[in-house]
Amino acid sequence: MKTISILKNTVQEYAWGSYTAIAELLGKNTPSVRPQAELWMGAHPKAPSMVKYGGKWVSLLELIKNNPKDILGKEVAQKFNNTLPYLFKVLAAAKPLSIQAHPGKTQAISGFEKENRLGIPIDAYNRNYKDDNHKPECICALTPFWALNGFRRVSEILLLMEKICPQGLAGELDDLRNQPDKQGLKNFFSALLTMEPERKKQVIDDTIKNAHRFSENDNLFKWTIKLYNEYKADIGIFSPILLNLICLKPGQAMFIPSGALHAYLDGVGIELMANSDNVLRGGLTPKHVDAPELLSILNFEERDVNIIASKKSKDFEMIYPSPAEEFALSVISDNKGIAYKSPVKRSIEIILCTDGKALIRDIDNNIAIDLDRGVSVVIPASVQNYTINGKATLYKASVPL
């Protein structure tokens, strides 16, 4: 494959998804029959994108296996073992996702090998590691986007917990007060995860009563109540108190490193991540929660969240800086019209149109494709020159070189 091609992508239907957002983007009937949570663009074995090649639809995963240097580029093929290193998504959360974290690279390799040795089927309910890769990720808001990201400062946690649960967790709060560091925070969070059901119910009941007293002008307590209404006796209702609560404005982004406890609560966004499906959950879910394994991969450093604004990369293109070596997210747009020329040095790119209309043209192969809303294309590294013209908003996934 040596030219630009349209992608046919899988929509993942999860219970927390939207009945309208992805369907509207793709020009389908709304509401959809089932909640649509994620649109996957890439070559993950679970749901690789399909490419029109040789008169038929072929998976991008197979095409890369057969032509890694042409599609990925020599440098990327060599660095990432002939695989596409990123997974590109549209994420549409109408309900909160589970509290979760992703392992680091070394942890993923070890965990994947261990579960393989134990003979745990890859699709088993209690399987933690679906592959041997880490999963740093970047989320960019298309609508106002509510999320939780990383532990807030211990001093804030103590202040907030004392407001809504002063008696029920008195012992644990005393311990955290006496050890206000990452080990103390780990001990406190572990105590919440492993609490006996009867005591947990009492603590949650008391917390919700107090949360109503403070919720009128405070989003932290509003979200605590919302999570309770959705998940009842789940210890994850404390997550807005423990974690940084963020509302990204459209166009803003944030980076989530391996080991950061987080959850997406509400909104539509563009998500770009390392090509992995490894998730360890900690609450707000009926799915498997492996508390010891989660505790072993979490980063308990208190931190502030860095909101990422796009920065000019070249004419008509703005990039979202991140430390990831697997991916780079950028947006190509201009109110007066795009006249974009491809970078001189580039790798495999996937472009998605989220608004407007443009024309992408492969100069050497004399191929032109309309980029209407919801249309995505893959541009192999072997394409020497392409241009984009029109009035549109286009999100681009690439690999830093």
Q: How far apart are CA 184 and CA 200, in angstroms?
A: 20
Query: Do 384 and 364 touch, CB atoms closer than 8 A?
Result: yes
pLDDT digits (tens, 9 = 90+) for 100-120: 999 999 999 999 999 999 999
> Catalytic one among 34, 117, 127, 281?
281
Asked if the model's pLDDT at residue 52 lies above 90, the reply is: no
What's the confidence (pLDDT) of residue 1?
A: 79
Domains in the chain with CATH codes: 96-309 (1.10.441.10), 311-398 (2.60.120.10)
Catalytic, 127? Answer no
DSSP per-residue letters across 289-305: --HHHHHHH--------
pLDDT digits (tens, 9 = 90+) for 142-167: 999 999 999 999 999 999 999 998 88
Query: Which helix H or strand E contains 24, and what residues bound it?
Result: helix 21-25
What's the confidence (pLDDT) of residue 323?
A: 93
Asked if the model's pLDDT at residue 347 lies above 90, the reply is: yes
Asked if the model's pLDDT at residue 53 lies above 90, the reply is: no
Q: What is the pLDDT averaged over residues 322-333?
A: 95
What's the confidence (pLDDT) of residue 166?
A: 83
What is the 8-class DSSP label of residue 381? Answer: T
Compute how many other C-beta atoms are within 10 angstroms of the C-beta atom of residue 109. 16
Query: What rounded mean pLDDT belongs to the chain?
Result: 94
Q: How much of the chain, in percent, has pLDDT values that exceed 90?
A: 85
Asked if the model's pLDDT at residue 233 lies above 90, the reply is: no
Going by pLDDT thresholds of 50, 70 and 90, the confidence category of residue 286 is confident
What's the confidence (pLDDT) of residue 216?
A: 83
DSSP per-residue letters across 187-250: HHHHHHHT--HHHHHHHHHHHHHHHHHHGGG-HHHHHHHHHHHHHSS-GGGGHHHHEEEEEEPT
SS3 content of the chain, % helix, strand, coil (to 5): 30, 30, 40
Q: What is the pLDDT averaged over residues 338-354?
A: 95
User: Collapsing DSSP states into helix, strand and coil, what is residue 103?
Assistant: coil
370 Cβ contact list (under 8 Å, min separation 6): 357, 358, 359
φ/ψ (deg, to 5) at 254: -150, 155
